[in-house]
A and B are shown apart, each in its own frame.
Chain A
Amino acid sequence: MEGFHQIFSEFFGTVGVVDSIRVTLIMSFFSTLIASALGIFLGLLLEKRQFPGKRAVIRVNRTLMGAPPVVIGLLAYMLLRKKGPLGDLRWVFTIQGMVFAQVLIITPIICGMVYSYAVRTAPAIRAFARTMGADARQTGWLLLREMKQELYFAVVSGYGRSISEVGAVFLVGGNIKNNTRTMTTAISTLKGAGDYYEGVFLGVILMIMAFTVQTLADHFRKEGGDENL
């Protein structure tokens, strides 16, 4: 038992598992939160408004949905580095910088998904709200309520992308132990050192975390009246 404890302590100490879990949770939570707010707002706005160049905007967004995270990470790094336009923020090699990069990656995904859903459902919801005498605020709330299933999938997709991302957080965060090392960058580090078993162990923890979040989200949906769960 003592030997097992020693192995465990050494392992935790070597790669900073506890801190990598903490950093992963903070980073994925805040990046998903900010990207969800932005993505849902922009997706609904894109569906509602007609403006010149709308098709081009949609196309650019679709391109960004599939953009390699490492490229976005590089862009975020260029923006945040000391001589970059956002250098004054001093966000390079910080969790804030990693959240910034993640928001750039996830927002187009959530925005694109919300737009696709909204094109199909929002006009009918708006028309219904109008026939019921709902004002702009009530219509907005109704849109969110009626599209909650679709929004849920968009947010969960964004969260999945956030928690599994390596390249961008590596570039912007720097994989600093006990500081900006996430579970995915820790796994990458362990693999580099040939510690495959520890890497698998961290991967299992990552999967358990994803499962827990999914279960909590499903519980929330069930309370919201989804009978398919």
Chain B
Amino acid sequence: MKIFNLRKQMGDFCLQIDRMELAPGVVHGLVGSNGCGKSTLSKLIMGILTPDGGRIDYEGLTPRDLTMTSQKPYLLHDTVYQNLIYPLKVRGIRPDEAEADAWLARCGLEGKKNQYARSLSSGEQQKLSFIRALIFHPSFIIVDETMSNLDPDSTELFEEMILEQQRIRPVTWLIISHQLIHIRRLCGCVHFMEKGRQIAQGTPEEILLYPQHPAIRSFLASTEVFYRDPEAPGAGKAAAGREEEPERPAGNGRDGER
């Protein structure tokens, strides 16, 4: 997917992406401070918002190949099962109940299949929303802060599912998160946004360990980053108390790692 001169004015805020490329089959991370336009960009990609100018080249992808999950997912006024199979119904695909059960079991929701979806806890709702995005095998998935406020086990589960998906059938992911730990673990490419613009794009090392742009250094300094190299240019107080860098799992679309 390629984005050219994309522009969206919303009150005083203006999103302006001169050029952004989201290589297929790669897990992309979208990072930036609050209000920098990450969610606006994701809504423009999804077609929820209409751009004022520029264009997005979907390179053959149709709206049915794209999906998005968010921190506060919309759940239908229906059961957990009906929520899960909704994207299949939209596509005229007959749901495979055994497969649906397997997805639910994976997230620990097997006993809640017939429960009213909105009565689930917020973490469970996020899990349901996440597997609902995966069940119809889309080609492009946007994860907008879905992993925020989850317990460590759930976060690990999400990461496992993303990496497993990439091993079985690589798709393009755009993960929006303030938790840079996820970005480093999962992403093959990181896009950094500031005030509505993409100011840097590169590998997680380039963006998060050796940032060149002052805005990124400032952002990292104000963010709790455990994996920064204290020797790296721009490393500041955030590097203090860092832990050992974990072994990075395979399958995130980085060169030589897939």
Is B43 in contact with chain A by the CB < 8 A criterion?
Answer: yes
Q: Which residue of A lies closest to B43 (CB)?
A: A127
Is B35 in contact with chain A by the CB < 8 A criterion?
Answer: no
Min CB distance B88 to A, Å, is 10
8 Å CB contact of A225 from B47, B64, B78, B133: B78
In contact, B66 and A133 (Cβ under 8 angstroms): yes
Residues of B within 8 A of A138 (CB): 90
Which range holds the interface residue count of chain B? 20 to 34
Q: Quick one: CB contact mask for A82-119 with B, threshold 8 Å, 1 for yes?
A: 00000000000000000000000000000000000000
In contact, A146 and B63 (Cβ under 8 angstroms): no
In contact, B63 and A227 (Cβ under 8 angstroms): no
Min CB distance A135 to B, Å, is 8
Is A222 in contact with chain B by the CB < 8 A criterion?
Answer: no
Residues of A within 8 A of B46 (CB): 127, 130-131
- Measured CA separation A227–B46 after assembly (Å): 34
In contact, B74 and A125 (Cβ under 8 angstroms): yes
Within A141-169, which residues are at the interface with B (CB < 8 Å)?
Answer: 145-146, 148-149
8 Å CB contact of A132 from B77, B86, B116: B86
Known: A127-B43, A134-B90. A225 touches B48 (CB 8 A): no
Known: A127-B43, A127-B48, A227-B116. A133 touches B77 (CB 8 A): no
Is A217 in contact with chain B by the CB < 8 A criterion?
Answer: no
In contact, A132 and B43 (Cβ under 8 angstroms): no
Residues of B within 8 A of A227 (CB): 116
In contact, A132 and B90 (Cβ under 8 angstroms): yes
Known: A127-B43, A127-B48. A146 touches B76 (CB 8 A): yes
Q: Which residue of A lies closest to B76 (CB)?
A: A146
- Measured CA separation A128–B77 after assembly (Å): 13
Known: A131-B67, A133-B63. A146 touches B90 (CB 8 A): no
Residues of B within 8 A of A130 (CB): 46-48, 63
Is B68 in contact with chain A by the CB < 8 A criterion?
Answer: yes
Min CB distance B173 to A, Å, is 14
In contact, B68 and A131 (Cβ under 8 angstroms): yes
Is A204 in contact with chain B by the CB < 8 A criterion?
Answer: no
In contact, A133 and B87 (Cβ under 8 angstroms): yes
In contact, A127 and B74 (Cβ under 8 angstroms): yes
8 Å CB contact of B74 from A128, A148, A149, A225: A128
Residues of B within 8 A of A225 (CB): 77-78, 116
Residues of A within 8 A of B86 (CB): 132
- Measured CA separation A103–B86 after assembly (Å): 36
Is A67 in contact with chain B by the CB < 8 A criterion?
Answer: no
In contact, A133 and B48 (Cβ under 8 angstroms): no
- Measured CA separation A131–B132 after assembly (Å): 11
- Measured CA separation A152–B74 after assembly (Å): 21
Q: Which residue of A lies closest to B67 (CB)?
A: A131
- Measured CA separation A133–B66 after assembly (Å): 7
Known: A127-B43, A138-B90, A227-B116. A132 touches B67 (CB 8 A): yes
Is A45 in contact with chain B by the CB < 8 A criterion?
Answer: no
Min CB distance A70 to B, Å, is 39
Min CB distance B79 to A, Å, is 8
14 cross-chain CB contacts under 8 A: A124-B74, A127-B74, A130-B46, A130-B47, A130-B63, A131-B67, A133-B63, A133-B65, A133-B67, A133-B87, A133-B90, A138-B90, A146-B77, A148-B77
4 closest residue pairs by CB, A with B: A133-B64, A128-B74, A131-B68, A127-B48
Contacts A131-B67, A133-B67, A225-B78 aside, 16 further interface pairs with beta carbons under 8 A come to: A126-B48, A127-B43, A127-B74, A128-B74, A130-B47, A130-B63, A131-B46, A131-B48, A131-B68, A131-B69, A131-B133, A132-B67, A133-B63, A133-B64, A133-B90, A148-B77
